[in-house]
Structure 1
């Protein structure tokens, strides 16, 4: 069997489909779920951090944050360090959701990861880091901005 990039791509997509099923089972719209996930898993507190962690557009993340605030799951406050930045704080209602649908995901991720040997963990990180470096090199021509 020939191992191609498609093999890796399909594996990553199958992992993503598990996350998608978990998100759907929560009953929360996708963008709102991933904002909550980002807050707890990545420690994101600002819209720009959430965008980086979730690959959402600024508009999508902002709308999800506002919808969560309307539900009473978070508050949005002006950051004392940067008056233009809005800081996200979770309410007790948001914590109820997180305890049921976010924290368990983190625990199952850690349990699955712990089942790998130290060598498998090191190899996984090393190989993906190397692939990422090669990918960045190959993508460089596409990432350069056009000059006027």
Structure 2
């Protein structure tokens, strides 16, 4: 099984890129991991938020493959502690044959079509983070989960 973080728009801040790259390298020791970037929409000034979400949904849905298990990173999703997230991933890795896709949407969130295409929603916090920052937070939590599952000393209770 492969884990994919699918994001809308490239990460622009170098300090986020460095952190994401570091955790991505660390993850390679445990699980196939890929960060897939969907190009950011251009000329959006004339588009409403709903129109932008629909166009982003077109690109998100186009990036999916048959057999993918899709999880939206969404403020209304299920919340986990790091230990619970590790357990969640362990179950998914045992039951998903192809790709486990975690999706970070654009600045306005997801359209109804994106919600319908997903099997689940997860929230990383009750707080709101920038779409750039959530990528780093997610890759760190994914790495933390892998170290928990392998009884390594990264996570402390």
User: What TM-score, normalized by structure 1, do the two folds share?
Assistant: 0.24
Larger proportion of helix:
1
Structure with max Cα Rg: 1
Larger proportion of strand:
2
> Comparing both chains, which one has the higher relative contact order based on Cα–Cα distances under 8 Å and sequence gaps of 6 or more?
2
User: What TM-score, normalized by structure 2, do the two folds share?
Assistant: 0.23
